[in-house]
Amino acid sequence: MVNAVKIRAFRAIEDYDSSMRFVNGHRRLLEAFGVKEVTSANIDWIHNPAVFVILVESMEGDKIFGGSRVHAAGGTQPLPIEEATGYMDNKIYGMVNTLKQDGTGELCGLWNSREVAGLGIGAYFATRAGVTLSSMIGISSMFALCASYTVKFAMRVGCNIVTELGNNGTYYYPKSDLLATAVLLRDTEELSLAVPEEREIMFDLRKTPKQIREEINPLRKNEIQIHYDLKIESLNTLEFKHRIASTMHKSST
């Protein structure tokens, strides 16, 4: 039984080795489920300055248990949800284009190893860390394309299903027998729809991004000690808003 883990965040381009460890762990898990083509598993993001990785690992750092990524709009790539669903429903492009003026992004690549399946380590806590990080990097809203079992995590942290997209918010993705749900967190700063206790924890993590917490997964009720380190030294919270503003100015001239 895993009793303690580290959850740390970093900009992908600043830690290539850790980014590749994330890639390899995610890829092995997808292949175990027979999924070989998924946009969130594309590794071009390693060179994208607008991507931040959340890595869940053992205390010794020798094992990776899972993680997630936050992609800010305004980097070198479209958001993964645009690439994944745009050919099925092009409304996603207009929605992202509107929201990116105030800073938007996506939580994606969420996974956990079979070793910690059911403990919430790679899904629940990595989702919380991603939402905490979102406002810290200066994005005001955040999309996610959720597997059926992770929708409940997204709702706890304040997301709503985007019923305007796909089939009432759902798509058959990444395979024809798997259903994914598009969700959107519309206020990363206030988290007005988050479960109150979850909102309080995320506010505390923003205030003190490096801390140790004794956590309880509210769905499984298992206890675990988590050593959080969500501070990113190179961060400028206006970086991506400036990138978007610059892009929009160039396109209008």
User: In terms of pLDDT, which residue wins out, 117 or 111?
Assistant: 111
pLDDT at site 158: 97
Give the C-alpha separation, 20 to 188, whole Å: 28
Percentage with pLDDT > 70 across the chain: 83
Give the C-alpha separation, 64 to 175, whole Å: 26
CB-based contact 141:103 (threshold 8 Å): yes
pLDDT higher than threshold 70 for residue 32 = no
Confidence of residue 41 (pLDDT cuts 50, 70, 90): low
pLDDT higher than threshold 90 for residue 2 = no
Confidence of residue 249 (pLDDT cuts 50, 70, 90): very low
Strands 160-161 and 179-185: antiparallel
pLDDT at site 235: 76
Dihedral angle sign, alpha carbons of residues 39, 130, 70, 73:
positive
> Tens digit of pLDDT for each residue in 50-67?
999 999 998 998 888 889
> Tens digit of pLDDT for each residue in 134-175?
989 989 999 999 988 889 889 999 999 999 999 999 998 877
**Whole-structure pTM over 0.85, yes or no?**
yes
CB-based contact 145:128 (threshold 8 Å): no
- Tell me the C-alpha to C-alpha distance, in Å, between residue 32 and each of 40, 93, 113: 16, 32, 11
Q: If residue 81 lies in a helix (H) or strand (E), which one and from where to where?
A: helix 80-85
What is the chain's Cα-based Rg? 17
Domains and CATH numbers, the chain: 4-252 (3.40.630.30)
CB-based contact 54:68 (threshold 8 Å): yes
Q: If residue 54 lies in a helix (H) or strand (E), which one and from where to where?
A: strand 51-57
